[in-house]
C-alpha cells in the first residue's frame, strides 16, 4: 500500500492538466506574404510550389491551405497523433527550403515562416485603452515589444501570438494620377526604396597598408536604414543631368508610419484592443501556465503607460479548476459515506478503517495508471474519476474479512433481515464459493439501498416468506 501511495503522489503532481484530452493531430503551419497580390496569384505562385514539395511528408495525414486577397498565404499540415512535433517541423522546413527558389523574390524577401501550432486556445489576453488615449497601432506595437516576449519566455506558453500582424512598417501612399503624368510606375518606386534604403559599410581611415606609419585609425560610419517618413519622402526617383530636375517620392505621394497589415481589427468591450492568444501545448500543465501568465501580466502592468490596461478575456483553466474542486468535494463525500455505511452495518470502528483507507489508495492507484497510459487531467478523466469514486462506495466492503462480515451480518435484527433480502435477490449460479457469495450480497445490498432512496418514491416491502 505504501508503494501505491508514494507512486500515486508522484504521478498526481506529474500528470499534465488540460481542458480536454490531446486528441487533435500534430499541426505545422507555413505562412508567407506576397505584397500586392490577389488570392489567385498567391495560390499559383506561392501555394503551388510549396504544397508540391510539402506533400508526402513523413506521417502526414492531410494539409489545408488558404490564400487571401491581402497577399497572405497559410498552409496547415496535419500529422498522425503521436508524431514528434519537432521532427515534423524540421521535415516541413526542409521541404519548404526546396520550394524557396521557385518563389517570387518579393515573397522570399518577406520570409517564409514554419512553426508548430495548435488550434486550442488556453487564454486570450486583451490590451486596450479604456479612455481611448492610445490608437490601435501604438497598443499593438507596445504589446509586441514589451508584453508578448515576456509571455513567450514562460514554459508552456512559447507559442503565444498576437492575433493579426502588430509590426510597424513605413507605408508609402502613391497618387496614380500624378504618377501617370510623370511616367513613373510602382515598380520604379519600389526599386528606388530598395536601393537607397540600405546600410553600407564604408571602411576605416588610416587602415593598413599605408606608405608611412599612422598613429590612429578612424572608422567611417554612415547613416543607417531610413526611419522617419520625411526621409522616405526625400528618396530620389528620377534625376535629370546636371541636377536640373529631381523627382522625389513626396512629389507623387506621401509616407507615414503605420501597421504592416490591417486585415484584422480586434476590439474588447467596444474599445480598440490587441489580443494575445496563448495556445495549449501538449504535455503542459495548464493551471501552472495560467498562473505564471497572470503573474507576469500583473508584474508588467506596473510599468504600463497611464491609460493602458489588460484583461484576461478567456481562460479555459477556470473550467478545469471547477472540475477539480468538484472531484475533491466528491472524494470527501465518498469517504464520509463509506465510513457511515460500514460503521452502521458492521458496528465496529476497527473494521471501518479498512474501507476508509481503500478509497484514497484506489484514487492514487488510478493516478499511476493514468500516467502510465499517457492520460492527462482533463474534463473527461475527471468525470470518469467521479464515477469511479461512486462505484467504490459499495465495493469497499469486499476488502473486509469474509468471516467477519458473515458473523456481523448474522447479528439480529436489521442485519439478518438485509441478509435474507440479499439472498432472495441472488441467482443460484452465484452461490458457489464464499467470495462470490459476499460479492453478490454486497451488490444486492447496494441495489436495495439505491432503490430505497430512489427519487421516484418506490418502496420495497418484504413478505413473510422472505421473497422480494
Average pLDDT of span 230-254: 84
CATH code of the domain occupying 119-164+268-315: 3.30.70.1320
Give the integer Cα–Cα distance in Å for 187 and 308. Answer: 40
Give the integer Cα–Cα distance in Å for 273 and 465. Answer: 78
Distances (CA, A) of 235 to 185, 243, 250, 355, 378: 15, 15, 8, 85, 59
User: Residue 323 pLDDT more than 80?
Assistant: no
Domain regions of the chain by residue span = 25-117, 119-164+268-315, 168-195+222-259, 320-452
Using one digit for the tens of pLDDT, what is the confidence trace for 247-281? 899 999 999 988 877 777 888 888 889 999 998 77
Confidence of residue 242 (pLDDT cuts 50, 70, 90): low
Report the chain's C-alpha Rg in angstroms.
36
Give the integer Cα–Cα distance in Å for 327 and 337. Answer: 15
Calculate what percentage of the chain has a pLDDT beyond 70: 78
Q: What is the pLDDT of residue 390?
A: 65
Higher local confidence (pLDDT), 93 or 324: 93
CATH code of the domain occupying 168-195+222-259: 3.30.2090.10
C-alpha cell at 149: 516576449
Provide the mean pLDDT of the chain.
77
pTM above 0.75, yes or no: no
Average pLDDT of span 49-60: 92
Q: Among candidates 92, 58, 124, which has minimal Cα distance to 316?
A: 124
Let me know: does 118 contact 45? Beta carbons within 8 Å.
no
Q: What is the pLDDT of residue 127?
A: 93
Q: What is the pLDDT of residue 362?
A: 74
Higher local confidence (pLDDT), 156 or 391: 156
Q: Do domains 25-117 and 168-195+222-259 have the same CATH topology?
A: no
Q: What is the pLDDT of residue 391?
A: 65
Asked if CATH classification 3.60.15.10 holds for the domain at 25-117, the reply, yes or no, is: no
Using one digit for the tens of pLDDT, what is the confidence trace for 19-33? 666 667 888 999 998
DSSP E strand boundaries for 177-264: 203-205, 218-220, 236-239, 246-248, 253-259
Higher local confidence (pLDDT), 364 or 136: 136
Amino acid at each position: 500500500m505504501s508503494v501505491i501511495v508514494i507512486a500515486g503522489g508522484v504521478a498526481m503532481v506529474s500528470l499534465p492538466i488540460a481542458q480536454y484530452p490531446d486528441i487533435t493531430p500534430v499541426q505545422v503551419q507555413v505562412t508567407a506574404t506576397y505584397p500586392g497580390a490577389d488570392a489567385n496569384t498567391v495560390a499559383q505562385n506561392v501555394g503551388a510550389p510549396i504544397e508540391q514539395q510539402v506533400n508526402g511528408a513523413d506521417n502526414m495525414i492531410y494539409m489545408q491551405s488558404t490564400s487571401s486577397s491581402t497577399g497572405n498565404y497559410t498552409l496547415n499540415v496535419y500529422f498522425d497523433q503521436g508524431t514528434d512535433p519537432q521532427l515534423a517541423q524540421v521535415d516541413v522546413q526542409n521541404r519548404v527550403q526546396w520550394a524557396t527558389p521557385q518563389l517570387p523574390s518579393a515573397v522570399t524577401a518577406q520570409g517564409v515562416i514554419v512553426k508548430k501550432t495548435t488550434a486550442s486556445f488556453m487564454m486570450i489576453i486583451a490590451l486596450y485603452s479604456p479612455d481611448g488615449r492610445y490608437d490601435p497601432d501604438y497598443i499593438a506595437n507596445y504589446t509586441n515589444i514589451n508584453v508578448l516576449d515576456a509571455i513567450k519566455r514562460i514554459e508552456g506558453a512559447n507559442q503565444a501570438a498576437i492575433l493579426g500582424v502588430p509590426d510597424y512598417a513605413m507605408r508609402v501612399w502613391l497618387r496614380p494620377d500624378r504618377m501617370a503624368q510623370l511616367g513613373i510606375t510602382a515598380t520604379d518606386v519600389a526599386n528606388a526604396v530598395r536601393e537607397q534604403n540600405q546600410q553600407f559599410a564604408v571602411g576605416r581611415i588610416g587602415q593598413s597598408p599605408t606608405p608611412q606609419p599612422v598613429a590612429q585609425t578612424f572608422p567611417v560610419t554612415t547613416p543607417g536604414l531610413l526611419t522617419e517618413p520625411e526621409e522616405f519622402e526625400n528618396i530620389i526617383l528620377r534625376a535629370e543631368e546636371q541636377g536640373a530636375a529631381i523627382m522625389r517620392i513626396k512629389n507623387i505621394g506621401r509616407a507615414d508610419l503605420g501597421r504592416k497589415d490591417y486585415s484584422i481589427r480586434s476590439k474588447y468591450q467596444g474599445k480598440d484592443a490587441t489580443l494575445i492568444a496563448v495556445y495549449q501545448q501538449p504535455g503542459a500543465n495548464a493551471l501552472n501556465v495560467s498562473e505564471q501568465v497572470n503573474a507576469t501580466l500583473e508584474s508588467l502592468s506596473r510599468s504600463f503607460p497611464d491609460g493602458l490596461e489588460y484583461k484576461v478575456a478567456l481562460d479555459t483553466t477556470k473550467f478545469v479548476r471547477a472540475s477539480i474542486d468538484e472531484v475533491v468535494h466528491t472524494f470527501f463525500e465518498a469517504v464520509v459515506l463509506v465510513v457511515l455505511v460500514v460503521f452502521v452495518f458492521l458496528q465496529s470502528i476497527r473494521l471501518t478503517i479498512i474501507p476508509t483507507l481503500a478509497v484514497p489508495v484506489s484514487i492514487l492507484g488510478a493516478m499511476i495508471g493514468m500516467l502510465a497510459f499517457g492520460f492527462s487531467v482533463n474534463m473527461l478523466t475527471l468525470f470518469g474519476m467521479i464515477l469511479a469514486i461512486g462505484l467504490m462506495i459499495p465495493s469497499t466492503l469486499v476488502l473486509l474479512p469474509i468471516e467477519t462480515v458473515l458473523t456481523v451480518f448474522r447479528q439480529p435484527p436489521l442485519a439478518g433481515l438485509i441478509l435474507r433480502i440479499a439472498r432472495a435477490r441472488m441467482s443460484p449460479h452465484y452461490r458457489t464459493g464464499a467470495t462470490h457469495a459476499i460479492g453478490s450480497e454486497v451488490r444486492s445490498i447496494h441495489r436495495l439501498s439505491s432503490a430505497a432512496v430512489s427519487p421516484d418514491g418506490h418502496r420495497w416491502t418484504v413478505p413473510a416468506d422472505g421473497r422480494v
